[in-house]
């Protein structure tokens, strides 16, 4: 027997899924219709059904698993480095004048510039293997984490810090029990910006450097004029990116369950 209220919950879940993904469903249906109508050649726009068939074939042969695993490995390792290094540098800049004096000009100049411009230098220094790909990803994605951490810590209410000091809190206690919890919402925002960046730059680096990975597979398909393979890569990256963003949103809600935003409506 289904539990009480099951029909209402099922109806609500169906409504949420339909309303949230309706525009995507329309886009995919338009893709299939346009491809089948002859408006575009199969080279310009392969049918969605053919693209999904190609993805299935890649999954069966194991190519999809290998390429996805390599791209995620590069993106997630880079994200971990950005998370730890970015928060550490941001905290140092906020609480140490010497660190702020040293890093602030670098952040100010480096944040707005396209970091992918360093790719030729990275290739010259490190080659075209995983170390170089991870390096360019970190260079690109660490800046939002640093900036979010600095802004978050600087925005903490001074009365909160003064009260903690007056109650005898030590510096380490201030850091772990006051500063980090108060700054965590904005730090998480910086991490949510950095995560999709790591995936984007990972794919771009694979396209430019070659080798295995989703970006490398797309470039290989492009060299052989395999339009279906290129579009299959686009769909795969879109799905993986969506899953990463949603996973990060879920992690944010878990970590900030004590925060007032946990009780606010969300589209995540």
Residue 10 has pLDDT above 90, yes or no: no
Does the pLDDT value for residue 6 go beyond 80? no
Residue 264 has pLDDT above 70, yes or no: no
Query: Which architecture does CATH list for 65-257?
Result: Orthogonal Bundle (1.10)
Q: What does the pLDDT look like over 89-106, one tens digit per residue? A: 998 998 888 999 999 898
What's the pLDDT band for 39 if we cut at 50, 70, 90?
confident
pLDDT of residue 267: 47
The closest alpha carbon to 247, from 197, 192, 183, belongs to: 192
Instruction: Report how far apart, in Å, the C-alpha atoms of 123 and of each of 13, 76, 179, 184, 209 are.
Output: 48, 21, 39, 35, 8
Q: Which residue has the higher pLDDT, 54 or 15?
A: 54
What pLDDT, on a 0 to 100 scale, did the predictor assign at position 19? Answer: 72
pLDDT digits (tens, 9 = 90+) for 224-251: 989 999 999 999 999 999 999 999 988 8
| Tens of pLDDT, residues 57-80 | 999 999 999 999 999 999 999 999
Which pLDDT score is estimated for 137? Answer: 94
Residue ranges per domain, the chain? 65-257
User: What is the predicted pLDDT for the residue at 242?
Assistant: 93
Q: Which two tokens stand for residue 76?
A: 């997630």
pTM of the model: 0.84
Please determine, for residue 206, whether its predicted confidence score (pLDDT) is greater than 80: yes
Say yes or no to pLDDT of 200 above 70. Answer: yes
Q: Give the residue from 248, 141, 136 showing the smallest Cα distance to 194.
A: 141
Region 100-116: what's the mean pLDDT? 88
Position 134 confidence tier, pLDDT thresholds 50, 70, 90: very high
Round the average pLDDT of the chain to a whole number and report it.
85
Predicted pLDDT at 22: 80
Give the tens place of pLDDT for each residue, 158-181.
Answer: 766 667 666 666 766 676 777 787
- pLDDT class of 81 with cuts at 50, 70, 90: very high
Q: Which residues of 87-118 are buried (b: 16+ CB within 10 A; e: fewer)?
A: bebbbbbbeeeebeeebeeebeebeeeebbeb
Mean pLDDT, to the nearest integer, of 182-189? Answer: 88
**What is the per-residue pLDDT for 234?**
94
Averaged pLDDT, 79-94: 93
């Amino acid at each position: 027997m289904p539990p009480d209220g099951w029909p209402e919950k099922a109806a609500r879940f169906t409504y949420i899924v339909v309303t949230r993904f309706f525009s995507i469903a329309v886009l995919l249906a338009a893709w299939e219709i346009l491809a089948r109508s002859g408006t575009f050649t199969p080279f310009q726009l392969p049918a969605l059904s053919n693209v999904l068939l190609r993805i299935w074939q890649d999954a069966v042969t194991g190519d999809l698993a290998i390429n996805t695993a390599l791209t995620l490995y590069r993106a997630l390792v880079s994200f971990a480095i950005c998370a730890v290094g970015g928060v550490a540098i941001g905290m140092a800049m906020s609480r140490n004048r010497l660190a702020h004096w040293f890093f602030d000009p670098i952040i100010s100049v480096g944040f707005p510039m396209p970091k992918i411009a360093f790719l030729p230098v990275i290739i010259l220094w490190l080659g075209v293997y995983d170390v170089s790909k991870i390096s360019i990803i970190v260079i690109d994605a660490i800046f939002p984490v640093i900036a979010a951490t600095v802004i978050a810590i600087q925005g903490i209410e001074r009365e909160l810090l003064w009260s903690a000091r007056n109650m005898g809190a030590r510096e380490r206690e201030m850091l772990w029990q006051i500063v980090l919890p108060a700054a965590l919402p904005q730090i998480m925002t910086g991490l949510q910006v950095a995560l999709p960046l790591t995936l984007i730059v990972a794919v771009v680096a694979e396209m430019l450097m070659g080798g295995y990975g989703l970006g490398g597979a797309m470039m290989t398909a492009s060299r052989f004029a395999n339009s279906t393979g290129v579009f299959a890569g686009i769909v795969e990256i879109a799905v993986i990116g969506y899953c990463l963003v949603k996973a990060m949103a879920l992690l944010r809600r878990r970590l900030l369950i004590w925060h007032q935003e946990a009780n606010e409506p969300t589209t995540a």
